[in-house]
Amino acid sequence: MGSIRVTNSGPTIRLNRDRTLSVQAVGPVLRVTSPSEVLRISRSRTLRLDATSEVIRISKQGRVRIATSVIQQAGVTDHGALTGLTDDDHLLYLNRSGVRPMTGELAMGDNKITGVVNPVAVQDAATRDYHDRGYLAVNRRSYIESEFDDPGNFAEGVQAILAGAGARNGTAAGVSKTNHPGIWCLETGTTAAGRGFIIGSATRGYNLGGAGRTRVGSIVKTGVFLSTALEEYVDRAGFFSMALPNTINEGVGFEYQFDQNGGRWQGVAEDGLGETSIDLGVTVVAETWYNLEFEVNAAGTSVEFFIDGVSRGTLATNIPSGTGFNLFYNFHIMKLAGTGNRSFYIDHYYVYQEVTR
């Protein structure tokens, strides 16, 4: 229970006779020592402290009366005493629990990010320790069998295979080389079964999984004409072993046909037991360069497909992994209907594989 006392210090607000307010710097005043209670006039017209809602009010006419009002409690002075502290109400601020992602780049202002765990996903941040240990533990062998020069020199073990009247492989005469120095061209010729292949050596192939990740990439484009029902062809880029006329024995990579996924690129995996494909959501446009890359994880249990540097999908079934598969890169165009000559261009390709010992 609070008490009323008289004090001679501290400014007070006074109601003057002309009903104006003024501040009196000193003078005896009534003070309530408990902030949770108010000065109350009881029904018997005596002054006492009470925590209920009857308070002294002065009307506009300057009359004192008893009124019922909500008691204004003293403000909270301790931040920890506020309610709703765990609510996520302030969307402009970063919630440390991670329930909301960033909506823009986070500039660290030359400050370090500390206490980071080792990465799991491809796009996870890596610690220096993880990088250093991984670098030392991996013997990297990278085959950049890439930029064709205009005479058409292949890397060791690479060969071109053609079939059909007029089928051709060679430099892409008349095709712009701007930003694409050295382009190789495959043409189907003028038969309904014309085809052209660029393949690696089947006796010097690759195993996926069990050692380290494998990444295969190429920059390719179609010619002026896309595949149609009357002039149908299929383009592929990746690791493929084929059985003619158009069966994948085993492989993983990219495929384009006009009647699959509305003419969009698709990712394909085939292990001899079955084939799995995924729509990669990018419609093939004639004479447009595409940077096609796929990456098989170290265990050989997942393959992720990228187009122009953007991840477009992942497959986890029918991946030809393990030592039972001898895979080699294979870029080709195969005619399935019609006799019009169709083209497939390859600007660059590479195979990158890590081997951990």
Its domain, for residue 264, covers 139-356
Structural domain contains residue 123: no
Structural domain contains residue 325: yes
If we measure between CA atoms, which residue out of 348, 350, 345, 349 comes closest to residue 176? Answer: 345
- CATH value at residue 304: 2.60.120.200
Structural domain contains residue 119: no
Bridging pattern class, strands 54-58 and 47-50: unpaired
Q: What is the pLDDT along the chain (357 residues), one digit of tens a residue?
A: 444 444 445 555 555 666 565 556 545 444 444 444 455 545 544 444 455 555 555 555 656 555 555 445 567 778 778 888 777 777 767 777 777 888 888 888 888 888 888 787 778 887 776 665 555 555 555 555 556 655 455 555 677 888 889 898 877 777 777 788 778 889 999 999 999 988 876 666 788 887 788 999 999 999 999 999 999 999 999 998 877 777 788 999 999 999 999 999 999 999 999 999 999 999 999 999 999 999 999 899 999 999 999 999 999 999 999 888 888 889 999 999 999 999 999 988 888 887 766
Structural domain contains residue 191: yes
Structural domain contains residue 99: no
Residues 249 and 339 reside in one and the same domain: yes
- pTM, 2 dp: 0.62
Half-sphere exposure of residue 134, counting CA atoms within 13 Å on the CB side? 14
Structural domain contains residue 63: yes
Structural domain contains residue 127: no
Structural domain contains residue 345: yes
Note the pLDDT of residue 287: 94
What residues contact residue 341 under an 8 Å CB cut-off, 6+ apart? 166, 187, 188, 189, 190, 194
Number of domains the chain is built from: 2
How far is 206 from 279, CA to CA, in rounded Å? Answer: 26
